[in-house]
Every structure is written in C-alpha cells, then in structure tokens.
Structure 1
Amino acid sequence: MNPLILASGSPRRSELLKQMDVSFQVHKSGADESLPPNIRPQDAVTELSSRKALEVASQYPNHFVLGADTVVSIQNEILGKPETEEEAFTMLKKLSDTTHQVFTGVTLVVNGQAHSFYEGTDVTFWTLSDEEIKQYIKTGEPFDKAGGYGIQGKGAYFVKEIKGDFYTVMGLPIAKTIRQLKQFGFPV
C-alpha cells in the first residue's frame, strides 16, 4: 500500500505519526489559508484542514492524504501565529489567568472524498508575569505556534489545567486520527 501523505510541514504532526508507526511522507500544502471574518474556530480548522488535504490529494490521487490545522481561540477570537515580539506578548498576556480553547481540524482524503472532523480542548493558564512572558519570547518558541505557545515545549510552564485531548493542543488528535485511518482501511 502507498504511504500516507501528510499535507503539513509541522514537525509535531510528523513526530506523532512516527510515534504511532504510521508509514507516511510529507508534502506541505500550498493552499490558501485566508479565512472570512468572524468564522467560528471549529469551522476554521475544518475548512483549512480540508483545503490543505484536497490541494495535496490532487497530486496524489492513489494515496490517503491527511491535512490538519490548529487554532487557539479565546471567546471565539482566533489567535494566529505571532509575527512580532509585541504580537506574541499581547497574545500571551490575553491568555494569562484564563481558559482558552484549542481546536484541531483533521481531513482525510480517501479515493477523492474528503472526511473531516475536529477536536477541541480547554487549556487554562496560570497568571503570567510580564517578565515570564518576555523570557519565553526570547526563546523564539512563540513564532511558529498558534496562540504564541507550544504545550510540548517551554510553553508547558504556563499550563495550569487541560480538559480534553493533549494531542489536540499539540496539533493532531492522534487517537481519533488513527481510528479514522483504520476505519477507511489504512493499515495502522
């Protein structure tokens, strides 16, 4: 059987698939990631994961293709990846001493048909001092992470509580993804 095609350049998603002994190749999607204003976070991740998977599947018609997208949301406001230190500081300050949601959408393209789902997890942060936030920003970790933090890295220090699937926060709800792959006949 052909390997799974992962339509994502995320090292975290690759790491999770390797952990589960899934045979896959990476082909990063070039799909448009713009979204309409006021889209619900759940709809955003489903839409983006679908776009990514379908764009790559057009190049690999005889493969299973997996696309995924993750957003951090607070009161339905989507926090993207910060581009500047100021943006990172503002995001992390907003998340301080609050509970926010992390949504990851997953789309599997099988025989040209897209099958999507999403998972959501609540994450509560400790109260963060300005100095803690500034020290974290100096690590460079916030700049390629939705919401400006990585739970699998130094950002774990901020997390007081999590309700839901840890791997959803990491970028791929691996248990549900594996079950979906099995359901569609991919050997896992």
Structure 2
Amino acid sequence: MSPDLDAWDPWTPWVIADRLAGLDVPWYVAGGWAIDLFRGEQTREHEDVEIAVPADRFDDVADRFPDCDFYIAGDGKAVSLSPEALATYHQTWAWQRGAGVWRFDVFREPYDGATWICRRNWQIRRPYAEIIRYSSDGIPYLCPEVVLLFKAKTDRDKDRIDFEGTVPLLTSDERRWLKDALDVVHPEHPWLARL
C-alpha cells in the first residue's frame, strides 16, 4: 500500500539544493517555486515543490536522498517504482520515511544530450543552458516562459495568479517564445491574447 496522497509537508528549494550540491546533473526547480525564484520572493503558499531532471539521471538524484522512498505518481495514485510505471508516468514523489510525509516531486524529463525536450510536444526543444536560470543565492530554476507553458495546461487559480504576476516581468523574447510555444501546444489558450 502506498502512503496517503495528501500527506504533503514539502521541503523548500533551499533544502533540496543543499542535498543536491555538487551533483553533475542539469536539475532545476520547476512549477510555482520556479516562478517565485524568478521573481525574487515568495508570492504565495506552495503545497508542493517540484524539481526536474533528465529522465535517465533520476537515480543520481534519488541517491542523494537515502532517507526517502520514491513512488511513481499518476492517475490519482502513487505506486512503487517499476520499469512499466517509469515508462508511463513522468512524476516521482519522494516520501520521507522518518517524517511520514511527501517532501518533493521529481519530473523525469525527455532530453537529447544538452538539450531539453518538452514532454507535451517533442518539437519544442531548448538547450539546458537557456532554460536553467539561477536565483541570487544559486538555486537553479526553470525559466519563467517554460514554467508558464506547463501551467497553461490547467485552469487553476494559482496558475492564473502566477501568469498575471509574471508576464509583466518577461522580456519581449520570453513573451514571443511563450506565445509561439502556446500556439503549438494550446492554440486556443486565452493567455495568447495577453502576449
């Protein structure tokens, strides 16, 4: 039986970065925390924290968390690691045994060498050197235009809040990239009119 799906007490990006210090893998904070790292302050509460890594480098990350068990998350459940589950779902949740809570989520992402590949449309690709940014204290995070592309999939308040607060801070090139990517992945999206 897997742990309770709602038992989240997420670490902060700083705790995760401390554990991953010196790891030679292109990893980064994703999701809402990435938006806040870009903005330079925490703008809202976060019920979880996501990081992303190249899919076949997941084990390198997991090795840094010997106090955690990892489960594949998808379709409203968390299941033990297996080749089939790893191939089917991209999310991997970290369960800290001693605390009895979920601590973070790892997105196992497609890539080609030094190039990130968008899991929603493999035509969208960018070098890691372009998509990984760093906060003032050195935390790697996903660039905001790519975060917003992923947030566009669902219609949640937190995603609209992140969009509204971030778009005015984007450069014209970042806005153009987001618009072009949305045209491919979500061509009818209402955010397009704002870009």
Say whether the fold is shared (TM-score over 0.5). Answer: no
TM-score (norm 1): 0.31
